[in-house]
Amino acid sequence: MRFQAAVLRSYENPFTVEEVVLRAEPAVGEVLVEITGTGMCRTDLAVRRSAGRSPVPTILGHEGAGVVVQTGGGPDAAIGVGDHVVLSFDSCGHCRNCRGAAPAYCDSFASLNLFGGRREEPPRLTDATGKALAPRWFGQSSFAEYALVPARNAVRVDPALPLELLGPLGCGFLTGAGAVLNTFSAGPGDTLVVFGAGAVGLSAVMAATAAGVLTVAVDQHQERLASAERFGATPLPAASPDLPEQIRRLTDGGAQYALDTTASPPVINKALRALRPTGSLGLVARLHTPLALEPGTLDRGRSIRHICEGDAVPGVLIPRLIGLWQAGRFPFDQLIRTYPLAGINEAERDCDAGRVVKPVLLP
Ligand SMILES: NC(=O)c1ccc[n+]([C@@H]2O[C@H](COP(=O)([O-])OP(=O)(O)OC[C@H]3O[C@@H](n4cnc5c(N)ncnc54)[C@H](O)[C@@H]3O)[C@@H](O)[C@H]2O)c1
Ligand SMILES: [Zn+2]
Ligand SMILES: [Zn+2]
C-alpha cells in the first residue's frame, strides 16, 4: 500500500513529505494504524545529532495516535479493527525488565526504539523507488498517514476522546508525568524543582500540581515560566542569582525531588545543590558532554538517576493521565499546536525557536 510520510533523508536537510510503500500486511502481533495525530518530541529532532547511530533515510515520529485498520491477530488480539489507540515506545516483552513490568528499561530498548528498529529482509517499508527506509522508529514511525506497529505498544482509548491530541501521551507527557507519579511517587508534603519547562518539564509540573506537590520551575524563557505558573508552579528565571539558595528557600530547606530536562552539566549541579538531604534528581535528557559533579553535591544521601519514559507501563499510565485530563487536572491539550503533515519543517523550526511546546502533526 502507498501513503504519504515525512521522510528524513539526511541529518542536515529538512524532512521531505513523499509517497512511501508498505510491502506487507500486519504479521501476527502487529496492527496497522491510520494515524490521526502524531506529536513531535525532542528525541525525534535529536536524530540529527545522533552521529549516524540512528540510520537514515527514516520515518521518525513516536507519539502517534490513530485508528486500527487491520490486525495480524495473535497474543495481543485484544486490539481490533476500529479501535482508537495511542502508540507508545517499543519493548521486547520477554527480557527480565519487561517481565518485571519495567518495559522502558527493556534490554533491547536502544536497538528497538532508537538505533534502527527490527531489521527486515526484504524491507517492508520503502520509498517510492523501492529503497529501504529504516523500519519503525520507536516501533511506529508515525510521521505518516499509516504506521505498522507491534500491538503491545498500542493502548486502546475511548473513541469519544479527541484522538488527534492524544499521541504525546505516548512519550513526552508520559515522561514528565511518570517521573513525578511513578519514579518519585510524589504526593502532598513533597517538594519538586523542574529545570527546563518544556514538554517534559511542564507535564511534570501539571502532574505534580495534580498530586499536591509544591513545585518550582526554572527556565530561560519568560513564556515557558508563565505556562509553568499557570499550571501551579512557582516560576524562577534561570538567570536568577544564586538559584539553588532561592529554591532551598522556596522549598523549606531544599526540594525532595528535582527533574532535569536540559542535559546541561552546570544546571545539573545547581539541581543537586537545590536538593534537601536524601533528595533525588532525575535526568531525562541525553548528555552530550561529560558530567562533572561539584564536591559535596551528592553528600547526605542525595542521589541521581536517569529516568526513561517516566518509568511507565503505557497501558497503565496513559489511561491514568487521560482520567486526570478529564477531571481538569492535567490540561496537556494547552501545550499543543497542530500542523498539517506538510508543515513538519515549520513545526521543527517553531520547536527549535521555543515558539511551540508540543507540535502535533495531522497526517
Ligand atoms: N528519557 C526519556 O524517556 C525522554 C522522553 C522524552 C524526551 N526526552 C528528552 O528530554 C529532553 C527534554 O524534552 P522536551 O520535549 O521537554 O524539550 P523542550 O525543548 O520542550 O524543553 C526543554 C526546556 O529546557 C529549557 N532549557 C534549556 N536549557 C536550559 C537552561 N540552561 N536552564 C533552564 N532551562 C533550560 C528550554 O528553554 C526548554 O523550555 C530532550 O533532550 C528529549 O530528548 C527524554
Ligand atoms: Zn524487554
Ligand atoms: Zn519522545
Q: Which residues line ligand 1 (CB under 6 A)?
A: 41-43, 46, 171-172, 175, 195-201, 218-221, 224, 238, 261-264, 267, 284-285, 307-309, 354, 357
Q: Which of 174, 284, 307, 336 to mutate to test the pocket of ligand 1 (most atoms within 8 A of CB)?
A: 284
Q: Which ligand is nearest to the CA of 285?
A: 1
C-alpha cell recorded at residue 292: 562533572
For 7, 66, 68, 156, 346, the CA distances from 318, given in Å and listed in that order, are 28, 15, 18, 10, 28
Q: Give pLDDT tens digits for 193-250.
A: 999 999 999 999 999 999 999 999 999 999 999 999 999 999 999 999 999 999 999 9
Q: Rounded distance, CA 27 to CA 198, Å?
A: 37
| Residues near ligand 2 ion, CB 5 Å cutoff | 91-92, 95, 98, 106
Q: Rounded distance, CA 294 to CA 270, Å?
A: 9
Confidence bin at 76 (pLDDT 50/70/90): low
3-state DSSP assignment of residue 190: coil
**Residue 77: its pLDDT value, please?**
63
Confidence bin at 60 (pLDDT 50/70/90): very high
Q: Rounded distance, CA 188 to CA 305, Å?
A: 23
pLDDT > 90: percent of the chain: 93
DSSP for 232-299?
TPEEEETT-TTHHHHHHHHTTSSEEEEEE-S--HHHHHHHHHTEEEEEEEEE-SPPSS---PPTTTTT
CA dihedral (48, 50, 54, 57) in degrees, to 10, reads 30
Q: Rounded distance, CA 330 to CA 317, Å?
A: 13
Is residue 75 pLDDT above 80, yes or no? Answer: no
CATH architecture of 176-308: 3-Layer(aba) Sandwich (3.40)
Closest Cα to atom 26 of ligand 1: 196
**Residue 258: its pLDDT value, please?**
99
**Residue 120: its pLDDT value, please?**
81
Mean pLDDT across 27-47: 96
Residue 357 CA to ligand 1 centre (angstroms): 10
Is residue 290 pLDDT above 90, yes or no? Answer: yes
Confidence bin at 144 (pLDDT 50/70/90): very high
Closest Cα to atom 23 of ligand 1: 196
Give, rounded to a whole angstrom, the gap between the first and last alpha carbons of the chain: 16
Q: Does 2-170+331-362 carry CATH code 3.90.180.10? A: yes
- Residue 328: CB atoms within 10 Å: 8
3-state DSSP assignment of residue 179: helix
Is residue 339 pLDDT above 90, yes or no? Answer: yes
Closest Cα to atom 43 of ligand 1: 43
User: Scanning the structure block, which residue is given the C-alpha cell 518509568?
Assistant: 311
**Residue 118: its pLDDT value, please?**
63
Supply φ then ψ for residue 119, to 5 degrees: -70, 140
Is residue 123 pLDDT above 80, yes or no? Answer: yes
| Mean pLDDT of the chain, nearest integer | 96
**Residue 51: its pLDDT value, please?**
81
DSSP state of 76: T
More confident residue, 231 or 50: 231
**Residue 196: its pLDDT value, please?**
98
Amino acid 217 reads A
Q: Which ligand is nearest to the CA of 45?
A: 1
**Residue 117: its pLDDT value, please?**
62
In 125-175, at which residue ranges do the beta strands (DSSP E only) sit? 125-127, 146-150, 154-157
Residue 266 Cα: closest atom of ligand 1:
31
In the chain, at which residue ranges do the beta strands (DSSP E only) sit? 2-7, 16-22, 30-39, 64-71, 84-87, 125-127, 146-150, 154-157, 191-195, 214-219, 234-237, 255-260, 275-283, 303-306, 336-340, 358-362
Task: Return the domain boundaries, the chain.
Answer: 2-170+331-362, 176-308
Confidence bin at 110 (pLDDT 50/70/90): very high
C-alpha cell recorded at residue 271: 539541581
**Residue 135: its pLDDT value, please?**
75
